[in-house]
């Protein structure tokens, strides 16, 4: 017999079915036992009457407790008028059990699965994430995440984008955060870096003639915990296009997200359509921040105030953190060093660089920055000039030889954007904590209580890598 999933039972009244799933709860009513059997799609009530069950099934039934995994064969019956449960998708039916088989037993979970109100602390939830993901809300976050990514992939494929997977073992890239380093065994003393973003690869893909690239790209940044970031790793919807103006990039992203939200979150509404394009200087002056919350009613959980921020300054004053990157002069790129200055401001690079504006664009939503991008520099000399202005040494510059070299072989003008998927998605799902939309996130202090990572490694492994760990 084929398996019937819980929600299909409403269409099978009078039929014998086989169910598989977890016991959500058990209610004893004298001799009769009610079990709610849960699967990924929902839940259905199973009625167990001893006289209907064979002997082994009766023994099984006696030991069944919440979270046991069962196979149940039984007959789907319509419920009487008074027994109908309007709050359940399968509330019009129940399954009269004929055979019950315990596929696996379960310990009492460390927190309740069918009660979201009494939530355990985050460390415990992450330690038992596989149980936490059984919660209805968490499961829905995972299902919606999958649907959303599916939408994005389809949309961009339809617009003739090509999905390219760029390396994870890569070279340190300057996106403004600390790198995660991976020691090389073949080249002792040398390190790969996990990419902070595929920025240089996607630019080189434009040189390669891909014209329209996207990737649901994992990005790794070793940053101290901040409320709006997931520590360690996150995903960007990374895009790059050739022969485009800034307008084309904004229009593409705006159309894609508008359609995505209308299809997947029909209850949401936009404060502005189309999304306003605001100048950085004006926004800073008016709101004191470059990510203003422009909602008309901040209590309305369905209001979405998207806005574009443009005309950013190309540079900002350097801070301590920028020095960490090895830059040593006066200017730090306000986004990243591949962002193009506005043509009319290029002369300012020689006279007053702080005044030069760039082709950077940020997308903000309800007070959060949910993505950024720019038109890129595609002229090797201009790129060198920017390197000089941010105080790169000859050695620093050498580490970008590959990109400047690529620009010598016919580089198309190009630009792109990389909306941060986890942040955007968590706002759409109404989750305050970004980790609620990530299957297996790190805790805020960047450790994983489930796998117990990071962890120490064997002496032999270190030996092979030529690494010695300093005590203390």
Enumerate the β-bridge partners of residue 417.
Answer: 239, 373
- Site residues (CB under 6 A) for ligand ASP, limited to 314-353: 336
Largest CA distance in the chain: 93
| 466 contacts: CB under 8 Å, gap ≥ 6 | 183, 188, 189
**Binding piece for ligand ASP, criterion CB under 6 A, among 180-188, 249-257, 349-357, 415-423:** 415-423
State which residue, 341 or 372, has the beta carbon closest to ligand ASP: 372
- Site residues (CB under 6 A) for ligand ASP, limited to 199-228: 199
- Indicate the DSSP class of residue 281: H
For position 403 contacting ligand ASP by CB under 6 A, the verdict is: no
Report whether 342 contacts 359 (CB < 8 A).
Answer: yes
List the one residue from 197, 318, 358, 426 that touches ligand ASP (CB under 6 A).
Answer: 197
For position 193 contacting ligand ASP by CB under 6 A, the verdict is: no
CA–CA separation, 349 vs 362, rounded Å?
23
Q: Exposed/middle/buried for 331, CB within 10 Å: 0-12, 13-18, 19+?
A: buried
CB of 216 to ligand ASP, least distance (A): 14
CB of 174 to ligand ASP, least distance (A): 11
Other Cβ atoms less than 10 A from the Cβ of 12: the count is 14
Backbone φ/ψ region at 80: left (φ over 0), alpha (ψ -120 to 50), beta: beta
CB of 205 to ligand ASP, least distance (A): 12
For position 230 contacting ligand ASP by CB under 6 A, the verdict is: no
State which residue, 39 or 254, has the beta carbon closest to ligand ASP: 254
CB of 321 to ligand ASP, least distance (A): 15
CA–CA separation, 337 vs 332, rounded Å?
8
Report whether 46 contacts 37 (CB < 8 A).
Answer: yes
List the one residue from 94, 416, 424, 425 that touches ligand ASP (CB under 6 A).
Answer: 416
Q: Which two tokens stand for residue 399?
A: 């580490």
State which residue, 310 or 418, has the beta carbon closest to ligand ASP: 418
Enumerate the β-bridge partners of residue 463.
Answer: none
List the one residue from 230, 374, 383, 426 that touches ligand ASP (CB under 6 A).
Answer: 374
For position 373 contacting ligand ASP by CB under 6 A, the verdict is: yes
Q: Which residues of 51-60 are buried (b: 16+ CB within 10 A; e: fewer)?
A: eebeeebeeb
- Site residues (CB under 6 A) for ligand ASP, limited to 164-183: 175
State which residue, 155 or 214, has the beta carbon closest to ligand ASP: 214
Other Cβ atoms less than 10 A from the Cβ of 321: the count is 11
CB of 338 to ligand ASP, least distance (A): 7
State which residue, 207 or 418, has the beta carbon closest to ligand ASP: 418
| 229 contacts: CB under 8 Å, gap ≥ 6 | 221, 223, 423, 434
Residue number with the smallest Cβ distance to ligand ASP: 197
Strands 93-104 and 162-163: unpaired
CA angle 216, 219, 220 (to 5 degrees): 160
CA–CA separation, 77 vs 291, rounded Å?
56
**Binding piece for ligand ASP, criterion CB under 6 A, among 101-109, 243-251, 284-292, 368-376:** 368-376
State which residue, 136 or 222, has the beta carbon closest to ligand ASP: 222
For position 386 contacting ligand ASP by CB under 6 A, the verdict is: no
CA–CA separation, 159 vs 213, rounded Å?
10
Three-class SS state of 221: strand
- Site residues (CB under 6 A) for ligand ASP, limited to 141-160: none
CA–CA separation, 41 vs 283, rounded Å?
46
List the one residue from 35, 102, 417, 427 that touches ligand ASP (CB under 6 A).
Answer: 417
| 140 contacts: CB under 8 Å, gap ≥ 6 | none
In the shown chain, the binding pattern of residues 259 to 298 toward ligand ASP, with x for contact by CB under 6 A and - for none, equals ----------------------------------------
CB of 360 to ligand ASP, least distance (A): 8
List the one residue from 72, 418, 434, 437 that touches ligand ASP (CB under 6 A).
Answer: 418
**Binding piece for ligand ASP, criterion CB under 6 A, among 158-166, 299-307, 394-402, 412-420:** 412-420
CB of 334 to ligand ASP, least distance (A): 11
CA–CA separation, 66 vs 452, rounded Å?
27
For position 358 contacting ligand ASP by CB under 6 A, the verdict is: no
**Binding piece for ligand ASP, criterion CB under 6 A, among 14-22, 72-80, 279-287, 371-379:** 371-379
**Binding piece for ligand ASP, criterion CB under 6 A, among 30-38, 57-65, 411-419, 456-464:** 411-419
State which residue, 97 or 249, has the beta carbon closest to ligand ASP: 249
Q: Which of 469, 464, 466 is nearest to 454 (CA)?
A: 469
Residues forming the site for ligand ASP (CB under 6 A):
175, 197, 199, 336, 372-374, 416-418
């Amino acid at each position: 017999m084929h398996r019937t999933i819980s929600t299909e039972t409403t269409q099978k009244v009078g039929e014998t079915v086989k169910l598989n799933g977890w016991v959500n709860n058990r209610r004893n009513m004298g001799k009769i036992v009610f079990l709610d059997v849960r699967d990924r799609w929902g839940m259905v009530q199973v009625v167990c009457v001893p006289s209907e069950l064979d002997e082994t099934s009766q023994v099984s039934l006696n030991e069944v407790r919440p979270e046991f995994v069962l196979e149940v064969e039984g007959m789907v019956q319509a419920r009487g008028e008074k027994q109908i449960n309007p709050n359940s998708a399968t509330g019009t039916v129940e399954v009269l059990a004929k055979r019950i088989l315990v596929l696996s037993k379960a310990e009492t979970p460390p927190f309740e699965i069918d009660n979201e109100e009494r939530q355990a602390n985050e460390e415990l939830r992450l330690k038992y994430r596989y149980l936490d993901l059984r919660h209805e809300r968490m499961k829905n976050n995972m299902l919606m995440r999958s649907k959303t990514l599916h939408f994005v992939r389809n949309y961009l494929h339809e617009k003739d984008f090509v999905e390219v997977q760029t390396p994870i073992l890569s070279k340190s890239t300057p996106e403004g955060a600390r790198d995660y380093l991976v020691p090389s065994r073949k080249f002792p003393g040398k390190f790969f870096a996990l990419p902070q973003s595929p920025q240089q690869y996607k630019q080189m893909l434009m040189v390669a003639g891909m014209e329209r690239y996207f990737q649901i790209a994992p990005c790794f940044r070793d940053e101290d915990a901040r409320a709006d970031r997931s520590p360690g790793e996150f995903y960007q919807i990374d895009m790059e296009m050739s022969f485009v103006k800034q307008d084309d990039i904004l229009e593409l992203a705006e159309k894609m997200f508008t359609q995505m939200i209308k299809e997947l979150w029909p209850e949401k509404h936009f404060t502005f359509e189309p999304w306003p394009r605001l100048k950085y200087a004006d926004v800073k002056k008016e709101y004191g921040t470059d990510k203003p919350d422009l909602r008309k009613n901040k209590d309305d959980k369905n209001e979405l105030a998207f806005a574009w921020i443009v005309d950013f300054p190309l540079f900002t004053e350097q801070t301590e953190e920028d020095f960490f990157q090895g830059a040593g002069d006066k200017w730090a790129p306000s986004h990243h060093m591949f962002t193009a200055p506005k043509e009319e401001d290029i002369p300012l690079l020689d006279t007053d660089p702080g005044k030069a504006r760039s082709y950077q664009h940020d997308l903000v939503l309800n007070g959060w920055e949910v993505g950024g991008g720019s038109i890129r520099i595609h002229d090797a000399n201009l790129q060198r000039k920017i390197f000089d202005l941010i105080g790169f040494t000859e050695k620093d510059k050498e580490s970008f030889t590959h990109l400047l070299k690529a620009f010598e072989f016919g580089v198309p003008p190009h630009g792109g954007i990389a909306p941060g998927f986890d942040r955007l998605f968590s706002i759409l799902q109404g989750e305050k904590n970004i980790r609620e939309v990530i299957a297996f996130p790190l805790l805020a202090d960047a450790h994983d209580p489930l796998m117990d990572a990071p962890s120490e490694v064997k002496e032999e492994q270190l030996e092979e890598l030529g690494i010695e760990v300093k005590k203390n």
